[in-house]
Structure 1
Amino acid sequence: MDIKTIFNKKKPVLSFEIFPPKRDGDLNSVYKTIDALAMLDPDYISVTYGAAGSERSNTTLDIAAFIRKQYQIESLAHLTCVSSSKDDVDRIFDKFEAAEIENILALRGDLPEGMATNNRAFQYAGDLIQYIKETRNFTVGAACYPEGHIEAKSRTVDLINLKQKTAQGADFLVTQLFFDNEKFYDFRREVRALDIDIPITAGIMPVLNKNQIERMVALSGASLPDKFKRIMSKYEFNPQALHDAGIIYASEQLVDLLSTGVDGIHLYVMNKPEVAKQLVDNVSNVLKALRSS
């Protein structure tokens, strides 16, 4: 069952994101992570585009195919296009189809340093989405940014770009991580006002240590609400307390999101299945109540 159909049949949808090992890393550790995550009964598991190198798509493919064949759980294979030709992505599509992968998260990817910004086959993620829809039969997810993409000239411009991506064929949206639910609610209202009616999954990352939050904020531009800053300030020198506080904070985010009818929740669990289990256990009764209503 492709992810578009899952959204049509069930809400809220629960999903996790995992990432392949770095070059020469141990795939067995990833498979152990998947084994533990499968016990939590997710609706799908997304697999990021692997470590840099020519074999990255193969690694993503192998893991995505394993999830689907071993556990009968849908997988969402990430695919970046910034440095790819149409022939490149066609070869990847062929491999995905041969492995019966039905779902792609279409992303631009980070521009390599010094790379020209024009004369590329795919300037933006929307170009990849459109090409997929014109040539293949995949269900396509797209990224969205509740506080605006860090490279966007303005939030308004970013919303215009999102409208374009959906017009090009995106079937559902997955948000970048955020720590302030009000930012997501404002974003969702604006998106719906633009007549974008495809499902929006809220991406949540529990913050477990100070270095992690500093890195994530620098990369994403996500803002930190005062409540979160107080937690960081109070427990930054007590790793276990900060870890526990991060789990509780993320759990509270999830309960609030679920209570407002969110289409899905997508947990960025950093290949830590024990973290995923804590979060799912904390909201399991809420999920059951919503799915049975």
Structure 2
Amino acid sequence: MAKDEEIAFETALLMRAAAIEALLRRLLDQRALSGEIARPKRLMAAMRHGVLNGGKRLRPFLVMESAALFSADGEAASRVAAALECVHCYSLIHDDLPAMDNDDLRRGQPTVHRAFDDATAILAGDALLTLAFDILADEATVLPVERRAALVLALARAAGVGGMVGGQMLDLDAGRNPPDEAGIIRLQAMKTGALIRFACEAGAIVAGAPPEDRERLAEFGSAIGLAFQLADDLLDLTADAHQMGKATGKDAAAGKATLVALHGADWARKQLSGLVGQAHALLDPYGERAALLKEAATFVATRNS
């Protein structure tokens, strides 16, 4: 990134993260909503621990910036972004469990099952997943009902059996039956890429943009989703735990199949450069309006944590 562009992007990322953090705090308030009976204190504390713990909030940023590309309603986009972050954080809580990745640290803090217990962590994840669809369906997300329904469907497909959860299953299976290159790409497109693809496509849905714009933003999301996972695998190999805020080196220690393990770090860096170029080209028709999204693609590929 050029220095001025880098500063503009980092400022926008921080501002979007702060706005989403504030909205998530309100959504995770102790007070029960209409139709709810009560919000158990320990469950809410665990949910807040898993969500309000910092992080770059990249996925919400992508929702909000892709919506801004089409001058969509900012408040509605923020709520969609918060719903997506609830799904993402639920997945991290469950990923960290002993039966999955068995991690003790997340964003520099004890994981939810360590701060509370396994059962509470499972329930906190369950509650965040259902809260996400509550947020999308709620009339407070001021969008035409058909757009809210489209968002519910798109997020369900991205997060479910044919998306993130299916990718997690493939990842578990990979420990027993290491996949080939095509299998690794499919696994990563599902486990990591599906929610990032949704984040970019969601802005076009919020705006009611034409199908061709929705598909273009989805393709952009697919490109940076692959870049995100490739950069993550590279960091797992080269960064330390303090830098990442979580354990590193676990993929190599476990003999896990990744594209970096298959082809090496130099190959991965070349691929990342190509994916950034592909992502930028997809946004060229939008001119300067897409500047921050282009910088986001560059950031995904060059981040150091």
TM-score above 0.5, yes or no: no
TM-score scaled by length of structure 1: 0.33
Higher helix share: 2
TM-score scaled by length of structure 2: 0.32
Higher strand share: 1
